[in-house]
Amino acid sequence: MSASTIPTDLADLRRDLITRVSDVTGNTDVNTLADRLLNTALHDIHMDPNIQPYWAVRRNTLLTHAPYSTGTVDITAAARTTVTGTSTLWNTAVTGMGFNNTRVGGKMTFQGSSEVFEVSAIVSDTSITLLQRWLGSALDDATYTYYEDEYALESDFLRPVDLRNFSTDWSIPLLGPMDFRRKYVRNSITGQPQFATVFQLAFSGGVSPRHRVAFYPAPDDEYNIPYNYITSNLAVSSAGIEQAQLSATTDEPIIPLGFRHVIVLHALYNWYRDIGDDGRSQEAKAEYVDVMQRMLGTTNMGKDRPRIRPTISRYLPRSAPIGRFDINNRFDQMRDWK
């Protein structure tokens, strides 16, 4: 980075930060500390729910699964988690859809019971394993319904863009997870989705979060449901591959070039704070807040900005000038312009 350019990639940001604190450049420990503070700043900036950064908004489409109820099932008292099917095709692909008739995590209901059971394994076209035990009498040639009310979100999902709506295209409002579960304890009704909630499953097989969305009613058909979200991939490599953080010196943050120095200001505030220099820490924080406010103005494109004007009295002629006036003790009022 030359003296006449603004920071662009990790190498630039690191050099700018270290130069500002007058520390030694090229030292491994200093570089490591600088990179950690820069990545912390990058994530803190995007965690603020009041900021809707247009550069971090991604769009995807979720494909729902139609219910499946072909064939009949048997459940014995000796194997209460094993469901045996007759004339079923549980492990067979749905033509052109990219998924099978049933999947792990799907739900099943059985004839004569209102309980909902989760599928833990698809053994074959005629064998499914349940997560919970069947507690009723043995089933023989009983009817059933398989359906899905929960769907995986993109691996880089951080949070919805709109905290009140999962899909504005479909007008599906979001409920809190506790409120959703309280209202729809046994989510076995199917139909076109009307409500949704976003939650996270326990980690499994790795450290990546498993974000999910649940719908009520559970989808009764295949639907393409588009949704917008804030990505957790806040950096991009020189090859154009998005990733969670800055790693290589040529990696760049996804923040627009004109505002990337805000990352340095946040890191500078934490650097001085950690070494006990409160005065410089507060100076860096004040500059950081100022840049964030200006950046916020660019992120709220299209947001309503009410204007104010005086109401015109209906007792004045249309040609009367607009301004403050007093007629029979009637005063103008200040209201939002609509």
Task: Kindly provide the b/e burial profile for residues 226-243, where b requires at least 16 CB atoms within 10 angstroms of the residue's own CB.
Answer: ebbbbbbbbbbeeeeeeb
* Residue 16, CA atoms < 13 Å, CB-side half-sphere: 24
Domain ranges (residues) in the chain: 10-53+255-299, 57-63+151-231, 72-147, 310-338
**Band of pLDDT at residue 210, cut at 50, 70 and 90:** very high
Give the residue from 195, 184, 191, 197 showing the smallest Cα distance to 218.
191
E-assigned strand segments in 177-257: 190-191, 195-201, 210-216, 218-219, 224-231, 235-236, 242-243, 252-253
**Band of pLDDT at residue 313, cut at 50, 70 and 90:** very low
Average pLDDT along the chain? 89
**Band of pLDDT at residue 3, cut at 50, 70 and 90:** low
**Residues 181, 147: contact at Cβ < 8 Å?**
no
How far apart are the C-alpha atoms of 237 and 153, rounded to whole Å?
23
Is residue 304 scored above 90 in pLDDT?
no
Residue with tokens 């059985």: 110
Taking residues 197-203, what's their average pLDDT?
A: 95
Per-residue confidence (pLDDT) for residue 5, from 0 to 100: 77
Per-residue confidence (pLDDT) for residue 24, from 0 to 100: 85
Joined together, the tokens standing for residue 11 give: 């190498």
**Residues 250, 238: contact at Cβ < 8 Å?**
yes
**Band of pLDDT at residue 338, cut at 50, 70 and 90:** very low
Per-residue confidence (pLDDT) for residue 337, from 0 to 100: 45
**Band of pLDDT at residue 299, cut at 50, 70 and 90:** low
Helices 28-47 and 261-274: crossing angle, nearest 10°? 110
In terms of residues, how long is the chain? 338
Is residue 312 scored above 80 in pLDDT?
no
Per-residue confidence (pLDDT) for residue 317, from 0 to 100: 54
**Band of pLDDT at residue 94, cut at 50, 70 and 90:** very high
Taking residues 154-175, what's their average pLDDT?
A: 93
Is residue 333 scored above 60 in pLDDT?
no
Sheet containing 224-231: which strands, arranged edge to edge? 57-63, 224-231, 157-160
How far apart are the C-alpha atoms of 225 and 203, rounded to whole Å?
26
The 10s digit of each residue's pLDDT in 226-282 is 999 999 999 999 999 999 999 999 999 999 998 999 999 999 999 999 999 999 999
Residue 329, class by beta-carbon neighbours within 10 Å (0-12 exposed, 13-18 middle, 19+ buried)?
exposed
Residues forming a β-bridge with 326: 331
